[in-house]
Chain A
């Protein structure tokens, strides 16, 4: 059907990346450049009693030193989207009251990194160490150290969802299950460490910033706000990022510090975080999740009570959104007539939470999908059947976007995975082999494509401009931000498809520049393909109409009979080719009475939110002697709407699932809670992300529901594959061993400990039976 869309064409940035020619932000060098380093708090909670930077200032090669005294005392919220939700405003560029390990206190700019590092070392800081809290359960207690004035019990944000009457609901329920779960703090750990280079020209009053951000345009306004300098002309240039996963979705202290140093020195200043600094920069919030679910004997859910305590960290950032979205999506995915849900974002002395692939959903679905399995077991029904009984339908409410579910492939996904995994016969599996126990577990999820509808008054638009060039090429201009997800490629495919030119003829700039590109909110919430893509499609359609109008006039054929194929304008009736696109474009720019350069432009405001969804079945082997869990295979089916580039989609599924296994089994940020609160997991030596060896066989299928509102029918695919993996693995472990692990990560010690308890309980039951 399509010529370019739906094909796994090679990426536009392929040659640059496989030859190492692509310059990442961290590779950039400007003439006369200085190097910045930040002084970061070694304590989780302290008050700076005094700072003496005199030795640093006098050091040879040091060009500027700033401390919190030199900073504008402006509190901002670091989040880079949804302007209406940039609260609480609780963070400053530099602070004298560090609230987490790594909180920034001072910064220097020097002629090289070595000097900058030495200068930081030479700054004498006297700290008054304060008691710290690391767990939200501790932080909300009376008498816990308070992080921010005015936020009693350290509750930064709260939200609730009520429908019907849960008391009645639970009374009507024939069976009720409830349980509590705990998840850990996770770090994005992108391979490229954060980097910001700022260059200030005092004559133009222009600050040019090269930075690893996912949101260049919102960055501009946040920078101006934090500096208290609305007058500065700020230009942000973003090279393709070396990974992001949501971790570059905020305005960092180092962004403000580097800008201040640039302003002070009048020279370009580069800050490049070390791995240790990145590990301490931000995180996915850990959570305590409790659910109580009531159902009738026939399996229909009647009541749900839930409470989520999100570990917001030292600053609230986007806690409101990333603790609310998963609750919105649970009640969207499952039809529950009565519910009462609460969510709290709680301040603790850990680094601030930020979006990380799946945005709160991995935490909440880890809990809920296990509870559903538990309920299925108690009802003696297949967990798939129980889900099918309660899953929403097209036309049902989408609580996140406050619209209706437009298309929904979840049922089909369940059908596909259960068939691939031979689900019906999973209990006949040969489960024991030596010390290994095998099991299969399933989990599902629903997600979003952009934040459309979620925030009143926010239009989340993206724009696109298309030029038809006189050589027959097509230039696509957007503000899209490349994180590695391949957005430049997919929008090129869409433009090529709409206009009718070969993919190779579409050109784009492979980096972001706020100077001349049109507004874009950034790459997050799996929105880029949808929002930027839709803008590109509409702009391309406009350009195409104009092409055909010019051709129609030139060749005296009615527009309705003309079309473009392979870069040639032809008559649909007899396939007669009139000319090439180049010729029309050339003609338009040079002939009098013709319009000149053919262009199309469009601002797309997303109003619908086509929901991605999917199911994953994990096949695990548990070594019951060591507690190790090996994920042998993950069978996945994802409703992607339409795969614009199946090769790119496959990459997202592989990458998301593998990241999901890391979340499930190995990754955990840890602090020295009994000591000074230093982050213990600062290096890959201590924080283990999956390697080649930990990759399961991934057997996936795409379900294409062709959403009428998606760009070529597509839905978000970047984040979803990471969402259900941990839950599927936990359910598989239960199937393999009979123990349910309710805390992440599922490390061998937890499994072994649970198995010991399980065996003990079983033997006690056995003894009791004997006695009875």
Chain B
């Protein structure tokens, strides 16, 4: 049955992380974290979930920032996608991340959704998830035992599943400084431009003296989580790669496609996803290599 109303729940606005974690810990399975609301409210309305306790962390100060230090970029989990999109720093130095933010939903959604929300939602087609995975991001988590930081690759466990304990909160996402000879790109294909991705791809290629020194290829919406196409990456590393090295890129893209485990859903067929994964990876690699200074 479809509904217009939301189920009743108790609502909290903790002023600190400690308070928030304490609430989550007390209410366990019956509690959810509220940040931007663009996923949570939809799931609640459709009764996919029916939380009894909603803990609104969006008013906790100190989680909405974009900062750079000597190690790299640090983004507060509550930073809106629109803020990322408007950031000259991110557009200039972390273009794949910017492209992911720019492609996410509509202006309205971007004004509400948070980067932390997108990461914790852990949708296989999550645009930010895809870009962050390619950029070797780390996530900082606060829980009963204090802070811990893990690579984002260990964070995604399955469709909608993360490494977060029930009482933990994602507080920050960090992206290491990009090496000087790296080019990155994010591409997305959807039924319409504001749709969820049928496939998304994020690529980071490091080229020195015409040789690929390092490669990161992430594909989204073609497996239970965004995945790194590690075999494809290996096929590129050490190879001659300048714009125009068709065969190497072609082969790597084919390998990347073979590493996917796509399904058929209302958005696309598995066969098409596999076929077009190759194309998208190829295009992203070319674009990324073209951006190497």
Contacts and interface: CB of A to CB of B under 8 A. Distances in A.
Contacts of B279: 435, 625-626
A625 B276 contact: yes
A749 B192 contact: no
Interface of B: 1-5, 189, 191-196, 266-269, 271-272, 275-276, 279-280
Contacts of A625: 276, 279
Contact of A690 (B192, B196, B266, B280): B192
Contact of A117 (B5, B193, B268): B5
Nearest to A279: B2
Interface stretch (A322-330, A641-649, A677-685): A677-685
B268 A749 contact: yes
Contacts of A688: 191-192, 195
A626 B275 CA distance: 8
Contacts of B2: 274-277, 682
Q: Chain B: interface secondary structure? A: loop
Nearest to A275: B2
Contact of A627 (B4, B5, B267, B272): B272
Contacts, number: 63
Contacts of A690: 192
Question: Residue among B4, B193, B280 with the most chain A CB within 10 A?
Answer: B4
Nearest to A102: B2
A628 B191 CA distance: 9
Given A749-B269, A752-B276, 20 more contacts: A40-B1, A42-B1, A117-B4, A117-B5, A272-B4, A274-B2, A277-B2, A435-B279, A626-B279, A627-B272, A628-B189, A682-B2, A685-B196, A688-B195, A691-B194, A693-B193, A694-B192, A747-B191, A749-B272, A753-B272
Nearest to A42: B1
A627 B276 contact: yes
Nearest to A666: B191
28 contacts: A40-B1, A42-B1, A113-B4, A114-B5, A117-B3, A117-B4, A117-B5, A120-B1, A274-B2, A625-B279, A626-B279, A627-B276, A628-B189, A666-B191, A666-B192, A685-B196, A686-B267, A690-B192, A691-B192, A693-B192, A693-B193, A748-B268, A748-B276, A749-B269, A749-B272, A752-B272, A752-B276, A753-B271
A121 interface: yes
A582 interface: no
A626 B198 CA distance: 12
Nearest to B5: A114
Interface residues of A, number: 35
Contacts of B192: 666, 688, 690-691, 693-694
A111 interface: no
A121 B191 contact: no
B193 A691 contact: yes
Contacts of B196: 685
Given A682-B2, A685-B196, A748-B276, A626 B189 contact: yes
Contacts of A275: 2
Interface in A721-758: 747-749, 752-753
A319 B194 CA distance: 35
Given A681-B266, A749-B268, A749-B269, A274 B4 contact: yes
Nearest to B270: A749
B41 to A, nearest CB: 13
Interface in A102-132: 113-114, 117, 120-121
A11 B280 CA distance: 47
A147 B240 CA distance: 65
Interface string A656-691: 000000000010001000000000111001101011
B1 A39 contact: yes
Contacts of A753: 271-272
Contacts of B275: 752
B255 to A, nearest CB: 17
A688 B267 CA distance: 10
B189 A121 contact: no
Question: Residue among A277, A435, A747 with the most chain B CB within 10 A?
Answer: A747
A559 to B, nearest CB: 61
Contacts of A272: 4
A583 B280 CA distance: 75
Question: Residue among B1, B266, B279 with the most chain A CB within 10 A?
Answer: B1
Contacts of A276: 2
B3 A670 contact: no
Interface string A114-158: 100100110000000000000000000000000000000000000
Contacts of B1: 39-40, 42, 117, 120-121
A682 B276 CA distance: 27
B272 A748 contact: yes
Nearest to A113: B5
B189 A686 contact: no
A690 B194 CA distance: 10
Contacts of B5: 113-114, 117
Nearest to A668: B266
A114 B271 CA distance: 43
A245 to B, nearest CB: 19
Contact of B3 (A40, A274, A680, A682): A274
